[in-house]
A and B are shown apart, each in its own frame.
Chain A
Amino acid sequence: MIRTALTMLVGDRAKFLGIVFGLAFASLLITQQAAIFRGVMVLVYGHVTDTPQVDVWVSDPGMPDFDTNDMINERELDVVRGVEGVRWAVPLNRRVLYTRKPDNEISPIMVMGIDDGSLIGAPLPEAMVCGSVDDLRRPNTVIIDEHSAATKLAVEGPDGVLKPMQVGDRLRANGTDIEVVGICRSTLALMLYPTAYMLRSQCSQLDASSDQSFNFILVGLAGGADPAATCARIDAATGLSARTSADFCRHVYDFFLYKTGIPANFGIAVLLGFVVGAAIAGQTFSQFVSDNRRTFASLKAMGMRNGRLAGILLVQAVASALVGYGLGVGAATLFGVALAGTDLSFRLEPELMAFSFVSVLVISIGAALVSLRSVVRLDPALVFRS
C-alpha cells in the first residue's frame, strides 16, 4: 500500500507541489534562520576559541559579556600570578579604536592589546596568512584579520576599485601611523569590527582614554593543576571571576542567549517559518484529502480499515516531509555557500538539520492527523451518492 499511497500523492501534481512547497518553505526558513543564529552565537566567544593556549580567563565579576569594558589593574595581575596552580598570567586589553584608512575613510577596529613580553593572545603561527607575530615588537605595528582586510579595510584605489589591505599598508589612529605587518585568520567579531592585534603598550598609547587597566587576565595552568580549584583560588584571592575557556565561552554564550533580544528575533523568524509552512502544507493537504473524499469512501466501502487509511495518509505525510525537507535544507545549504566570505555568519550543524527535519515532520504529520479525522468519520455510503 505504500506505493499506492505514494502514487496517489504524486499523481495529484498540483497538490503535491503545494504541500512540498509549504514544507520546503518551513524547512528553508527554520534551517536558514537557525543556522545564522548559531553562526552569530559562535561569534560571541570567537576570540576565546582563537586563543587555545589560554586555560583560564579572568574578568571583572560584574562583566556580563565579552564586549563590556570593565577594567582590571596590575595589582590584581600580580596576585593572580601568585596563585597556586598558575604557571603564567598575562593581561589582555581589548578595546575599539577609530582609524583612518589610506583612502581617508574612518573605520573602527577591535584591538586586542596583547602582552608585550610573551605575545600571548596574538594569533597562532598557523593562523598567520602572511607576516609574522614577532613583527608586532616593532613600534607602531598591527596585524589585521584576513576577512576585514579584504572587505571593511579594503582600500579604494584611484581607479575606484577596492583593493585588499596588505602588509605594508598603513592605518592612522590618534595622529599616529600604524603599519600592517601581518594578516591572520580569526573568527569574526560579533559587532563585525575588524579584529586587530597590537602590543598592549601601543594600544594604550593610541587610546586617549586609556589608563593602565585592562579587560582580562589570561592564565596558563601549571601541569597537573586542577582548573576548577585554581579558578576558585583566583576568585578568592582577587575578587575577580576566573573561568576555564570552556566555561567562559558558555558564560558569554548564555548572556547572549538569555539576556539579549537575539534569540527572540531569530526565534520569531523560525516560528514564522513553522506557522506559514504549516498553514500552506496543512491547507493543501486538507484540500488533497477533501478532493479524494470519494476515493477514500470507496476504499472504506471496499473494506479498507481506518487504520490502513491512516497508514496511507501517514505515508503521504512522511513522503511529503522528506521531499520538502530535502528541498528546504538544500536551498539553505546553497544560501550558506553563497554567504561564504561575507560578514553574515552561517553555521549548519547536524543538530540544526535534525531540528529542521523534526519541525517539518511535525507540520506534515499534524496536517495528516487533522485530515485523518475527516477520513475516519467519512461515511462510506457516500459512494452511492452521485
Chain B
Amino acid sequence: MADEPPIRLRGVVKSFGSGSSEVHALRGINLDISAGELFMLVGPSGCGKTTLISVVAGILRHDQGEVRLFGEDLSRMSDRCKSDFRARHVGFVFQQFNLVPTLNVQENVAITLQIGGQSRRRAMDRAAETLDQVGLGDRLGAMPSALSGGQQQRVAIARSIIHDPSILVCDEPTSALDHEKGRQVMELLRAIAIRPGRALIIVTHDNRTYKFSDRIATMEDGYIVRFVRRRFDPESVDDAPAQPAGPPAGMAAITALAAAH
C-alpha cells in the first residue's frame, strides 16, 4: 500500500434509474490520481464527469467497484463517516461559487472549519489569514453580492483550502468567469492549492485552462477514453488565447477499461 496513490478507482460503475430509463453514468472507471498533481477531467456534457467527481468526493455512492481515498475504502464508510471524511479531507470549489449569500466573506470561509468542529473565533482568525493569501484580506466584512465573480471564486477557493484538505475538487471553477478572471483563478489554484500530499481534481469545459494542468482525462459516455500528461509551463499561461483542447499526438495515453470495449 505504500505506493498506492491518494485516489484510486477500480472498476467503478454508477447507474441512475432502472429498466428502459436506466442511465449508465460510469461504466467501469479505473483511475489513479497522484498527490501534488493538478488533474483535469474533461468531456462533453452528460459524459459522467460530475458523477465521477461526486463519487470521488464521497457525496455519491457508487454501485460497483472500489474507491480508495488515502488508503481508505469509501464503500465501507457509513454516511456519517463519509461526512466526517469530507469535513477533514475534502475541499470543494463550485461552478456557481455557492457562497452563503447572507454571510460575509470571512464567515463564508470560516464555516468550513466550524463544520470540522472548530470554535467560531479560531475559525474566523484562520479565515482572515486564508483570505489574505488569496488577496482578499481587505474584504473580510464584505457580502458576497458586493464582490465580482472572480473575487467570489477566490473566496470559494479560500473556503476550500482553509482546512488543508488532501483532496480538492473543483467543478468548472472558471466557467462563470471571463477570460482574465478565469486565468487569475487558475493561477491562484496553481499557486496555493497544489502542494505535496494534496490531489487536485478540476472538472472543466474551459479549454483555456488546460495549460494549467499536469494531466487531463477525457470522458465519453461513462468511460475515460484518454489520458494526456502535460508538463506545466508557468511561462505559457500568459499566452492568449489558449490552444483548444485535445491530446497532442504521441503523448502517453492510457485507455480506460472502457476503451477496450
Contact = CB atoms under 8 A, between A and B. Distances in A.
Given A10-B102, A380-B59, A381-B60, A302 B112 contact: yes
A8 B99 CA distance: 12
A302 B92 contact: yes
Interface in B89-144: 90, 92, 94-96, 98, 100-103, 107, 111-112, 114-116, 120
Contact of B107 (A4, A295, A381, A383): A4
Interface stretch (A77-85, A147-155, A257-265, A303-311): A303-311
A298 B98 contact: yes
Contacts of A383: 59, 92, 94, 98, 171
Contacts of A74: none
B217 interface: no
Most chain B CB within 10 A, of A4, A12, A304, is at: A4
B54 A384 contact: yes
Given A4-B111, A384-B50, A386-B95, A300 B100 contact: no
B180 interface: no
A298 B92 contact: yes
A301 B59 contact: yes
B80 interface: yes
B73 interface: no
A300 B111 contact: no
Interface in B57-92: 57, 59-60, 80, 83-88, 90, 92
B242 interface: no
A100 interface: no
B107 A7 contact: yes
Interface string A1-39: 101100111111000000000000000000000000000
B53 interface: yes
Contact of A12 (B50, B88, B102, B112): B102
Interface residues of B, number: 32
A110 to B, nearest CB: 60
A299 B85 CA distance: 14
Contacts of B98: 294-295, 298, 383
Contact of A11 (B86, B87, B101): B101
Given A384-B53, A385-B50, A299 B111 contact: yes
A242 to B, nearest CB: 67
Nearest to A2: B120
Contacts of A7: 102-103, 107
B101 A303 contact: no
Enumerate the 3 nearest inter-chain pairs by beta-carbon distance, A residue then B residue, closest first. A11-B102, A303-B87, A303-B86
29 contacts: A3-B120, A7-B102, A7-B103, A11-B101, A11-B102, A294-B96, A294-B98, A295-B100, A295-B101, A298-B98, A298-B100, A301-B57, A302-B86, A302-B87, A302-B111, A302-B115, A303-B84, A303-B86, A304-B83, A304-B115, A380-B59, A381-B50, A381-B60, A383-B59, A383-B94, A383-B171, A384-B54, A384-B171, A386-B95
Given A299-B115, A302-B112, A381-B54, 7 more contacts: A11-B101, A303-B83, A303-B86, A303-B90, A380-B59, A383-B98, A386-B96
